[in-house]
Structure 1
Amino acid sequence: MGAEQIRRWESGALAHAVSDPFGQGPLPWLRGSENYFDDTGQVVPWYADPALARSTDGGTRTADDVHRQIKGFISTGAAAPGEAVDFHITVDPPQQFSVDIYRIGHYGGDGAAQITTSPRLSGIVQPPPLTADRTVSCHHWWQSWRLQIPSYWSIGAYVAVLTTVDGYRSHIPFTVRDDQSADLLLVLPDITWQAYNLYPEDGRTGASLYHAWDEQGCLLGEEDAAVTVSFDRPYAGAGLPLHVGHAYDFIRWAERYGYDIAYADTRDLHAGRVDPARYRGLVFPGHDEYWSVPMRRTVERARDGGTSLVFLSANTMYWQVSLSPSPSGVPDRLLTCRKRRGPGKPALWREIDRPEQQLLGIQYAGRVLDPHPLVVRNAEHWLWEATGAGEGDELDGLVAGEADRYFPRTPLPEHESRILLAHSPYPDSEGVKRHQETSVYRAPSGAIVFSSGTFAWSPALDRPGHVDPRIQRATANLLDRICKRD
């Protein structure tokens, strides 16, 4: 397949489709229902007014990594009100463009609200990405726009929508954070997002921790992938990370019901910018597979200090990673995971005698090729209270993507009480029967630690076509108890 033929969903993202059964094409947060097509047959992003989703030539089009019609990244991690976010954007052919800023949330049923729009900006063709040993970086791109975040902006998850005059569109996600106390701290998994980022998906130079390209434009596997990836580059395809929708599903639901939430990225955890004592609970809403030593240390300290932990996905904290500065010295811009290659210690937490189960209560068991029911266990437990779920009930499609379970030969964390709340059979890729489990335990500090053990939990909160009222109520039971509202 030649480079000109490469399209996003035919390359790296297709290889990961098994781990995100809810990905609706290159924008996993588009609604897939026929109710969200406009009268020209164009799919309308749910965050935008239909009028904004059409350009003068009949509709916006998604930029790609071959032609790079418009692509960009920001040169910081999460930023606080009063700080600046610098955008680095390439536009080909050179033309004017604008940046619309949206905040993810619940706005009268809309999944986001437009907060501001940039002036009309002049776009240039930035230099090609630099590559060294499969590491792709655009740290040499010129700054295109500086967004000064006003002091009155709400903290939260934001998306910058880049649109050229001729109607091509791309996205850049970012987080606005502060240090104020809150009931819950939502931790967005930007480290895992970057691990999966194959930018540029051009059949030539792009690489992630999973894939790279050979000289014929064919996708290579993990043994030939990058060891180090850079945050100084756009996300592939439409500019949104794989699995980003899982975090947005939780945010829309939680803000709808008025939970008191603060926001941070996993790099904030890594860098010591999170004080767990400020929160009753830390919530990890999406696929969060890559953890550094400081991240784990901070979260264990949180639990041991009485701060509860909520893990709403599966395959959490599987690989150990390190972060290092960019060539210009900006901290935490390079992500390294040797996986099973080269000298040095293994990169799996469980292979260095620090299995995930010692924090989560369960740990990664394998992929789930097709969605299967989550089978309720211990239905008398408070998590299932008022959900209508009975012992042995099957919650359709709730075991999907990847699954965790309890490993009897692996040590458990110290606990005052512990219980498994689901035991769900599914076949693996070879047809062998496996099972998924959902876990909750109470640490000696009083902290509650919940692990859903499936990718499908967050989408069941607020994704059209996947909502399950029983999961919504169970999650409310959990968060209300953590926030001491019960």
Structure 2
Amino acid sequence: MFFGSCSSSHADILYQQDFSEVNPGTGLPTGWSLGPPIHADYFSAAQDFNVYAAAAPSIRVDVPLRTMQYRIESPWVFLPSMNQDYTVEFSLKILQPDSPFKVMIVYRDAEGQWIDWDTLVSCVGEQMESFRRFRVSFNPHAGPDRGRCWIAFGLPYTKVLREGCFYLDDFIVYEGSGGEEVEFYLVPNTVQAGENVDIHISSALEEATIEVWREEEFPVRVISPRVVNHIAKEVVPDEVWRNGCDWPVSTTISIESEWPSGIYTVKINNRDGTAWDNFVVRGKGGEGKVLVILPTDTGHAYNSWGGGSFYSTPQRPEISFERPQGHGYVGVYHVPIHLIRWLHRNGIGYAVANDSDLHFHPELLYEYPGIIFSWHSEYWTGEMRRNVQAYIGAGGSVLNFSGNTCWWQTRLVESDDPVEPGPCRRLICYKYTAAEDPYQQINPSRVTTHWDEPPLNNPPTRLLGLSWRYGGLVNSSTGSVCPCDYDWLDGYGGYQAFNTDHWVFEGTGVSDEETIGREYAIVGYEVDGAPIEWVDGRPFVLPEGGTPSGFKVLGHSPCLNQYHPDEPGVALMGILDEGTSFIFNGGTTGWCWGLQNDAVIQKITLNLIGHLGARIQTPSPSEILVYPNPSTHNFYIKLFGRSVPSRLHIYTVEGRRIRSMAVPEGECRPGATLWWDGCNDAGYRLPSGTYYLRGERGGAIPLVNLR
């Protein structure tokens, strides 16, 4: 960490600014600007003469409540080649306790055509007591020709839900690599109290400082800063996006037994910068009525560290969990953190889990009458979906505060997977190249494509009522592929409310056709919907999309549907109310933005949690669930109870045993799932009819209907 004025001894300086002279109108030097260029008062910038280093002034930027994006923008810096190393240095002080903060760079060619963008610095929830000096190296990797770059300081693509400010001083860009960033990853990213989390660090500087915070209304430090020594700059393996880093363990966090379930942020500082990531201490029951499930697989899907992701060019169908987070996608700190803050402010008991827990630990669901998805729960394994389906079938409720939910099927595979072995655990999704998925021939029900497309043909509307197929995007009229051109107020807004006599709206004072959630722009960026028809000015869901009968529309908004761009898409909020349980679908990635200070959205959320019943009764020791049932093939058999059998037997109605299946070693636990393909032990398909199955120790005898 450096204090003092910037280094100006570089002979190869490309741009330098000490902020000693500014325009009185803008508060910024010539060539600098406020952004984005939109029609709202965002914030103010001015010189600040607080003593820093040689008493030179810095720039102070005040950020008001509820802004959706704020930044100050450097002038274009011309680069002699778009394929060499450069370094940017600056001094920064951030007082933004409730939001991420980014320094981003946009590359263009010499003629001004957009090339790419990247994140140089990403912080979260910072309250810096003094200025920190950052030194970051970058390389456009865009060929030998001349080009230009543009650097922005602020918080793009999110919302500010607590007032704050930041200071900037002594900005310099020069040729050559001068920064020694610190990078790390955590294994595992979900644990129980009493377990350990290993930290794998890479840095050319041999020493770094680590601290750990628990995310509450205000972060609580649980591990004070401590020094980690003997760090080395680690090698990045080939195809690291698939193979993982395989770096040695630098230090270990021991999870104290009294640490409650929640989100824990790890911050590591070295002389040149800060890196951060998080892990989950998962629940164990008794914390409250709701289990918050974080969309961690979606975060990994977008993580392009090492050059590959589900969104890179070319798209990589396999991505490793064992690599640093690039933080172009800001994960839980973008939206879910505001749900956590709100739960704490309102004294609502809760526990936290992530996508891996939903995949591997379905028994955890039954400790809570309600589960919450938030923000962007886009990537689901088949196990995740089946576990949620079984939970709903057992009387559990779902509060979906997410958009683009359950859009892609994925597979989570271990290093010793018999079909797709590799050096580490990976998330697999072939997406638009699903024809190349090996499971097309092995087991089509596990092919990684859209849930509503062949060979799956199982739209998310069947599970949660809505789908991105009928929704789409809110705020997309600019048509730009460059984030610096986006206008994040364009099209953001609320829902027009309907059926306001439903208990969801109790105490809100909202009437039909009134707009809700607009002040905090809860509708966007990605929204889900369903086919609808309008009858007497009210929307009703049509059955053709797969939504269960009884699903009631509570809110509607237009959107841009990418599959039918000439027709308005449909963003919906709705509920399937079964009386003792329910499925509420907010249908938008931005729902939790309204939990800061939108009285209606807060009251609706309180009503939903308040309507949850008592703890779900875990199925009895002898209970076996089978789904879908009836089916033409592919039955999933889920085992519950305190004494899970090690084998299952399938019988004809006459009592003749025709199939035996072993529960895999190590999987004899509540929630274990087997798959039956409708064949006997010899591999021959059985005729249509009714069969029953039971465990080796007897117990329940559920009927299985094979069509």
TM-score bracket for the superposition, by shorter chain length: 0.7 to 0.9
In the alignment, structure 1 residue 357 sits paired with structure 2 residue 481: no
Show the 5 A alignment for 1:291-310: 291-310=380-399
Find the residue that maps to 2:573 and give its secondary structure.
strand
Residue equivalent to 2:302: 196
Residue equivalent to 1:46: 97
- Supply the distance in 1 between the matched residues of 2:369 and 2:298 (Cα, whole angstroms): 24
Please, what TM-score do these two structures have when normalized by structure 2? 0.55
Q: Is the 8 A contact 2:94 2:126 kept in 1?
A: no
Residue equivalent to 2:611: 481
Q: Bigger CA drift: 118-127 or 391-400?
A: 118-127
Aligned AA (1:105): E
Choose from 333, 336, 344 the match for 2:425: 333
Find the residue that maps to 1:473 and give its secondary structure.
helix
Show the 5 A alignment for 1:74-85: 74-85=186-197
Choose from 386, 389, 398 the match for 2:510: 389
Q: Is the 8 A contact 1:246 1:459 kept in 2?
A: yes
Aligned AA (2:583): V
- Supply the distance in 1 between the matched residues of 2:368 and 2:422 (Cα, whole angstroms): 29
Residue equivalent to 1:442: 577
Residue equivalent to 1:398: 522
Aligned AA (1:349): W
Work out the number of aligned pairs and report it: 422
Aligned AA (2:273): Y
- Supply the distance in 2 between the matched residues of 1:233 and 1:122 (Cα, whole angstroms): 20
**Cα 1:389–1:340 shift into 2, 3 Å:** same
Residue equivalent to 1:24: none
Q: Is the 8 A contact 1:103 1:156 kept in 2?
A: yes
Choose from 252, 266, 286 the match for 2:341: 252
- Supply the distance in 2 between the matched residues of 1:477 and 1:406 (Cα, whole angstroms): 24
Q: Is the 8 A contact 2:375 2:590 kept in 1?
A: no
Q: Is the 8 A contact 2:372 2:399 kept in 1?
A: yes
Find the residue that maps to 1:249 and give its secondary structure.
helix
CA shift for structure 1 position 41: 6.8
Q: Is the 8 A contact 1:126 1:142 kept in 2?
A: no
Residue equivalent to 1:59: 132
Aligned AA (2:449): A
Q: Is the 8 A contact 1:68 1:90 kept in 2?
A: no
**Cα 1:210–1:391 shift into 2, 3 Å:** same
Choose from 135, 151, 158 the match for 2:242: 135
In the alignment, structure 1 residue 472 sits paired with structure 2 residue 602: yes
Q: Is the 8 A contact 1:64 1:237 kept in 2?
A: no
Q: Bigger CA drift: 260-269 or 384-393?
A: 384-393
- Supply the distance in 2 between the matched residues of 1:128 and 1:100 (Cα, whole angstroms): 25
Q: Is the 8 A contact 2:295 2:377 kept in 1?
A: yes
- Supply the distance in 1 between the matched residues of 2:414 and 2:463 (Cα, whole angstroms): 28
Find the residue that maps to 2:289 and give its secondary structure.
strand
Q: Is the 8 A contact 2:92 2:132 kept in 1?
A: no
Aligned AA (2:128): A
Structure 1 gaps, min length 5: 6-16, 18-30, 201-205, 212-219
Find the residue that maps to 2:526 and give its secondary structure.
strand
- Supply the distance in 2 between the matched residues of 1:253 and 1:85 (Cα, whole angstroms): 27
CA RMSD, Structure 1 to Structure 2 (Å): 3.2
Aligned AA (1:124): I
**Cα 1:234–1:469 shift into 2, 3 Å:** same
CA shift for structure 1 position 72: 0.8
- Supply the distance in 2 between the matched residues of 1:62 and 1:49 (Cα, whole angstroms): 18
- Supply the distance in 2 between the matched residues of 1:114 and 1:133 (Cα, whole angstroms): 32
Residue equivalent to 2:359: 270
In the alignment, structure 1 residue 207 sits paired with structure 2 residue 311: no
Residue equivalent to 1:125: 232
In the alignment, structure 1 residue 174 sits paired with structure 2 residue 298: no
Q: Is the 8 A contact 2:377 2:405 kept in 1?
A: yes
Q: Is the 8 A contact 1:134 1:225 kept in 2?
A: no
Residue equivalent to 1:159: 265
Structure 2 gaps, min length 5: 1-13, 15-35, 37-60, 72-90, 99-122, 140-178, 441-446, 477-490, 532-541, 616-707
**Cα 1:101–1:60 shift into 2, 3 Å:** farther
Aligned AA (1:435): V
Residue equivalent to 2:411: 322
Aligned AA (2:584): F
- Supply the distance in 2 between the matched residues of 1:333 and 1:305 (Cα, whole angstroms): 31
**Cα 1:448–1:243 shift into 2, 3 Å:** same
**Cα 1:32–1:273 shift into 2, 3 Å:** farther
In the alignment, structure 1 residue 461 sits paired with structure 2 residue 592: no
Aligned AA (2:305): Y
- Supply the distance in 1 between the matched residues of 2:320 and 2:588 (Cα, whole angstroms): 28
Greater relative contact order, per chain length (Cα 8 Å cut-off, separation 6+): 1
Choose from 368, 379, 387 the match for 2:500: 379
CA shift for structure 1 position 477: 0.7
Q: Is the 8 A contact 2:291 2:368 kept in 1?
A: yes
- Supply the distance in 2 between the matched residues of 1:306 and 1:425 (Cα, whole angstroms): 33
**Cα 1:242–1:119 shift into 2, 3 Å:** closer
Aligned AA (2:396): T
CA shift for structure 1 position 142: 1.1
Q: Is the 8 A contact 1:62 1:169 kept in 2?
A: no
Aligned AA (1:116): I
Q: Bigger CA drift: 272-281 or 253-262?
A: 272-281
Deviation sequence 1:402-423 (CA, Å, 0-9, x none): 111123312233x6x4311011
**Cα 1:154–1:169 shift into 2, 3 Å:** same
Find the residue that maps to 2:523 and give its secondary structure.
strand
Find the residue that maps to 1:198 and give its secondary structure.
coil
- Supply the distance in 2 between the matched residues of 1:384 and 1:332 (Cα, whole angstroms): 47
More strand by percentage: 2
CA shift for structure 1 position 190: 1.0
CA shift for structure 1 position 331: 11
CA shift for structure 1 position 131: 3.0
Residue equivalent to 2:110: none
Residue equivalent to 2:559: 426
- Supply the distance in 2 between the matched residues of 1:179 and 1:441 (Cα, whole angstroms): 28
**Cα 1:32–1:247 shift into 2, 3 Å:** farther
CA shift for structure 1 position 32: 8.3
Find the residue that maps to 2:522 and give its secondary structure.
strand
**Cα 1:307–1:102 shift into 2, 3 Å:** same
CA shift for structure 1 position 307: 1.0
More helix by percentage: 1
Identity score, percent: 25
Q: Is the 8 A contact 1:54 1:60 kept in 2?
A: no
Residue equivalent to 2:350: 261
- Supply the distance in 1 between the matched residues of 2:236 and 2:227 (Cα, whole angstroms): 25
Aligned AA (2:408): W
Deviation sequence 1:129-159 (CA, Å, 0-9, x none): 2233963621x20111111111111210111
Residue equivalent to 1:10: none
Deviation sequence 1:70-96 (CA, Å, 0-9, x none): 11111113111111110001123x132
Choose from 77, 82, 90 the match for 2:202: 90
**Cα 1:387–1:81 shift into 2, 3 Å:** same
Q: Is the 8 A contact 1:288 1:316 kept in 2?
A: yes
Residue equivalent to 2:487: none
Residue equivalent to 2:619: none
Choose from 236, 239, 251 the match for 1:145: 251
CA shift for structure 1 position 427: 4.3
- Supply the distance in 1 between the matched residues of 2:197 and 2:189 (Cα, whole angstroms): 9
Residue equivalent to 1:8: none
CA shift for structure 1 position 297: 0.8
Q: Is the 8 A contact 1:44 1:53 kept in 2?
A: yes
- Supply the distance in 2 between the matched residues of 1:209 and 1:68 (Cα, whole angstroms): 28
CA shift for structure 1 position 127: 2.5
CA shift for structure 1 position 42: 2.9
